[in-house]
Amino acid sequence: MSGNVDELELREPETQSGSPESSPYTVWQAAIADYFQFSQFHTNFRTEILAGITTFMTMAYILVVNPLILSDGIFISQPGDLFPQLVVATAVSAAIGTLIMALYANYPFCLAPGMGINAFFTYSVVLGLGIEWRLALAAVFIEGLIFVGLTLTDIRRQIIKAIPMCLKSATGAGVGLFIAYIGLAGDPATGGAGIIVANEVTKTALGRLTAPPTLMAIVGLLLTAAFLVRRIKGGLLWGILATALLGWILGVTPWPQGIIEAPPAPANIFGQAIIGVRQITAANVLNFVAVLFVFLFVDIFDTIGTLTGVGIKAGYIDENGELPRANKALMSDAIATTTGAVTGTSSVTTYVESAAGVAEGGRTGFTALIVAVLFLLSMLFIPILGAIPGYATAPTLVIVGVLMMSNVATIRWGDLGEAIPAFLTVFMIPLTFSIAEGLAIGFITYPLVKAFQGKAHEVPIPTWILAGIFVGRFVFMTLRFGG
């Protein structure tokens, strides 16, 4: 087909008989566009599809990374290679959560098992505390049910509403830096960018630029930047594909070892969360409650931070600082966490990589629908997805970080009562490697600095309450887990 994409979507193409009504394809296309409100969000099929593919490409690493992390904990009491089953569980849980977000909330936000929380699940809960993995999955399952209750009672939306506008903007910028940091700091030994590396003296330092993966990441960043400044549609996606292809051709990373591979049924992990609930006893209930509390806290504020940050970038946040249809988005996230636990994976949460699709122009749930479909199809194409190296997606994450930094322009830097907590939020999100921790620090300092200004009366009561909850959480974590 040729011609202007927008025109093709808005007019009824004539059939051989000249009757536009006789084309079922056009009817379905119009119905889809109407359901996802394309005209209201000034988007079209091509833009949404490209955005969906781009988001999926930046999230696809979770299909390999999440199973690797969870395997370390599950293999202890469940010997055998469960990696393929965990890949299926990861893909299915991501697809279900993203599909609910697409059809119910109509947002381009995509979900998958959360990085960080999966490491806590494995290394702190299962290996550190010695909690059996089924019992840990039960904690994730109950966490999801609690989230459903908090959403039905409107508490989670009220939390979003209680976040001051300066912290909403700061969270968006902090998420951008966080995404860029993830891309730049990938381990070159496993195909990551390695542009930023750990250093015992300076904490972080510039990596070895002559390392092949690092060189590829730099070339990819320049290619992606060139695509974008030349306004090439789908520039982020083409940047990923071009960098990966170049790496394969030059032998920096091996070519895919196959194309299609039949996925196994997750028979050994599906439904184990329900079995885990029956393992709660008087001897382990205190540790179980402590773990449940951490899962709740990290997940709720990671999700709120992501929805706020990406929502600002997409232009969803209204003049009152609220996210329209917030409860639908939060309910989608809550149901995803519950169903994810049943499939056999740690907490499913909204992904900051959704910003990649938003940057590509995705504005509706159709973007998320594309991602959900690709997650399901990905179970057949693990060899190809596994061959896309981290240095190929790193440039996209850096560019998304650049785009999200525009949020700082809305912060009133001349007012130190807002500038100080906003800066700490922006600064601490990437440095603590946690959206929840950065937001917590901003939340605690905001009412205190306002009070120092003599403007304590300007701080809403819910904001004070949340600041107190954050302080209590830090105390609890220090006493229970030593930090």
This prediction has a pTM of: 0.71
- The residue whose two tokens read 């179970």 is 379
Distances (CA, A) of 426 to 175, 194, 404, 458, 468: 8, 23, 11, 22, 21
Range from 99-113, 127-141, 417-431 that averages highest in pLDDT: 99-113
Q: What does the CA dihedral 39, 43, 45, 49 come to, rounded to 10 degrees?
A: -150
Please tell me which of 99-103, 329-333, 343-347, 375-379 the model is most confident about, judged by mean pLDDT: 99-103
pLDDT for 76 equals 54
What is the pLDDT of the chain when averaged over all its residues?
A: 83
Of the given ranges (10-24, 119-133, 190-204), which has the lowest mean pLDDT?
A: 10-24
Contact 150, 281 (CB under 8 A): no
State how far the Cα of 349 lies from the Cα of 97, in Å rounded to an integer: 8
* Amino acid found at 436: A
| Confidence grade of residue 228 (pLDDT, cut at 50, 70, 90) | confident
Q: What is the pLDDT of residue 25?
A: 47
Burial class, 133, CB count within 10 angstroms (exposed 0-12 / middle 13-18 / buried 19+): buried
DSSP secondary structure letters along 137-175: HHHHHHHHHHHHHHHHTTHHHHHHHHS-HHHHHHHHHHH
Are 402 and 173 in contact by the 8 Å Cβ rule? The answer is no
Reported as half-sphere exposure (CB side, CA atoms, 13 A), residue 390 has a value of 25
Q: 348 or 120, which is more confident? A: 348
Asked whether 400 and 355 are in contact (CB, 8 A), the reply is yes
Q: Do 44 and 6 contact (CB within 8 A), yes or no?
A: yes
Name 289's Cβ contacts closer than 8 Å, sequence gap at least 6: none
Q: Are strands 203-206 and 111-113 parallel, antiparallel or unpaired?
A: unpaired
Q: Which of these, 354, 257, 314, lies nearest to 57 by C-alpha position?
A: 354
- In the predicted model, is pLDDT for residue 3 greater than 70? no
Closest CA to 393 of 160, 216, 128: 216
In angstroms, the Cα distances linking 69 to 78, 205, 292 are: 15, 26, 19
% of the chain exceeding 90 in pLDDT? 35
Q: Which of 8-12, 83-87, 153-157 has the lowest mean pLDDT?
A: 8-12
Query: What pLDDT, in 10s, does the model give residues 436-469?
Result: 788 889 889 999 999 999 999 889 888 898 888 8
Tell me the chain's radius of gyration from C-alpha atoms.
23
